[in-house]
Amino acid sequence: MVVTMFLLGLLYVVFVGVLVALGVRALTVLLIAGGLLLAQYFLSDRIALYGMGGREVSPQEAPELHGLVDRLCAMADMPKPRVAIADSDVPNAFATGRDRRHAVVCVTTGLLRRLDRRELEGVLAHELSHVAHRDVAVMTIASFLGVVAGLMTRVALYTGFGGRRSDGQGGLPIGLVIMLVSVLVYAVSFLLTRALSRYRELAADRAGALLTQQPSVLAGALTKISGEMARIPTRDLREAEPFNAFYFAPALASGAGLAALFATHPPLERRLQQLAEISAQLGRG
């Protein structure tokens, strides 16, 4: 994850350097992108809950769910996030919020119906590790360059940043050069951000397994959820697919090969392999 973040930072430096070399005044675009970043950063919990139809529940409404979250937070020595339930048959869970004190953990009714107490605890431990690691903040910051590049591309495409080169020798219009550079930067930053997302999912699996000391239970929950996904109508999975980056398991998993580069989650086999290795390590301990 450190290497990926370094490459994203390096890409940002190169991108800004090219814009400066071309004489572009991109302050307006940067301000717009910064505003979007701040909105995403500070309102991520509300946006995610609204988009997925989740609602906060009290301990009286969901005592068992709150009890599991209380126990895990005590074990992890972290503040308790808000707890929510989304009325959806797609078995899944997600956590969002910029930090531990503004976080929310949400599970679907489909998940509650299908998992037993131990499996649900494993999934919640995974989601709480996202909160502890501030993954929402990390991914928001990491995606900032992609947002800037995307805005630059749109502005260059529809309005342009100017005519031909100012040296009077003709050549490509500056707007076209900026658009090409922005497209390239957006594509590379998109792939790096997706790679970072896959790494953070593996890190959350590991942290959740170590917190509960039951990696095999988390592996069982992963396998059960993935199997149950196949029974959900494709239309419902398509509706949930835009929120894959938030989910414990993707609503529609990407295939192998080139498609895996665009996936927000590692392949199921990779996640199960890591959990098996952790289980073996704990067994030796």
- Please list the active-site residues: 127
- CA dist 64 and 82 (Å) reads 14
CB 49 within 8 A of CB 106: yes
CB 97 within 8 A of CB 131: yes
Q: Angle, nearest 10°, between helix axes 174-212 and 144-158?
A: 160
Name the DSSP letter for residue 77.
T
Q: Which two tokens stand for residue 107?
A: 């599970």
Number of CB atoms found within 10 A of residue 128's CB? 27
Query: What CA dihedral angle connects 211, 214, 220 and 223, to 10 degrees?
Result: 40
CB 34 within 8 A of CB 86: no
